[in-house]
Amino acid sequence: MRRRASSLPTSSWRSPPTIDKRRIPVPKTPSPRTDAEELKRQLSVRILIFALLAQLVMAGGLIFFAVNGFPMIGGGAPPQSRDRAPGTAAGTAPPATPPAVTAALPRAKVDRFDSARAYRLTARQVAVGQRPAGSPQLVRLADELRRLLPSGRFEALPDTTPAKPLRNIVGTIRGRRPAIVIGAHYDTLVTPKGFVGANNGAAGSAVVIEVARAMRKLTRPAGARELKFVLFDGEEPAEGLPSDQPDFYSVGLRGSRAYVARHPRGTREMLLLDYVGNKGLTLPREASSDVRLWQAVRRSAASVGVGSVFPDRVDLLIQDDHTPFLRAGVPAVDFIDWSYPGQTLQDSMKQISSRALDAVGETVVQYLRTAR
């Protein structure tokens, strides 16, 4: 989704013991009585072995069904909910119940963010299919997403055309200016063919929308900051992969560059949500992200019980939609798990975890509740 700009600095065999083989004399002509007794003894041993094996198989079956449920008495997976995300079309409904989450991810101690809605909204975007900037399918999806943001509106990008409209989607919760921007991109790569961007595009957009929804429900103190929820268009280049571009900053990041140019003094700080929905999510500080702001984010994560998702280490420096804000002197951070294969066909709903979405959503809501 973007270019990797730089990187930061993995028994001995012992001879088996020698076995002393000795010749054991065998009677050359055993009596008939001895042969009959030996046959009876061998038969008894075999029956005993078969009985033990049968018991082991039965015990293994009991253990399996105890763990996975007994189908004959109603065990197994729970029935799926019929609830759907807003705007989900008939015939393309996303899974109503998220798959089993990764055990390593912690469960938040609070419940202000609706991770089930975020999961369904991620799936709704994926159901649209590949949706590069300016494509008819992205234009239609943008109309749905705009309605989900508070006071949602479009801001056209400079290179938009009637045939290929490029538009940021901006929602607002009024407050003291300059605002805090919470952003993600909602377009996908143009290649490889069939790329649906579950984590590279859809998950971040869904979390931004659901954070806005959560914040609208909360009573905010007098003097709280204005909040801008921005879905950036044109983050991906018009052709090829970000790594194919000699100057990704100039050909990608079109929505975030346009937003910064249009609101030069309108942003106090910026939180970018990128690869935030994958199983096994881990979010170290991206190397260019503002240190003070990231420390505040980590404190918010710890306070809601998901601090382990934000380890105290530094990862690669990545050009992303937070970069134009940094270049404009705005403190910004990038939530991105760069270990995730976000530019491949593996980026599907099979990789998305509602527990990961929840960890990020609850962290951002907590930060916004306390930000001054």
pLDDT confidence of residue 28 = 45
Say what the pLDDT of residue 140 is.
98
Class at the top of the CATH hierarchy for domain 112-370: alpha beta
0.85 cut: is pTM over it?
Answer: no
Q: What is the pLDDT of residues 167-196, one digit of tens each?
A: 999 999 999 999 999 999 999 999 999 999
Question: Is the predicted pLDDT of residue 332 greater than 90, yes or no?
Answer: yes
Locate 13 and state its tokens: 């065999």
DSSP state at residue 285: B
The pLDDT, as a whole number, for residue 104 is: 83
Please give the pLDDT value at position 1: 53
Q: Model confidence over 195-239: pLDDT tens digits? A: 999 999 999 999 999 999 999 999 999 999 999 999 999 999 999
Per the CB < 8 A criterion, the answer to whether 96 and 120 are in contact is yes
* Mean pLDDT of the region 20-48: 50
Residue type, 226: E
**pLDDT band at residue 21, thresholds of 50, 70 and 90?**
very low
| Mean pLDDT over the full length of the chain | 83
Cα separation, 117 vs 86, whole angstroms: 9
The amino acid present at 45, given as its one-letter code, is V
Higher pLDDT, 1 or 361: 361
CA–CA separation, 75 vs 84, rounded Å?
25
Torsion of CA 120, 126, 128, 130, to 10 degrees: 170
Sheet of 332-335, strand order: 153-156, 167-173, 225-232, 176-185, 267-273, 332-335
- Domain parsing of the chain, residue ranges: 112-370
Q: What is the pLDDT at residue 40?
A: 59
Strands 267-273 and 332-335: parallel
Percent of the chain residues topping a pLDDT of 70 = 72
Longest dimension (CA), the chain: 107
Decide if pLDDT at 55 tops 60: yes
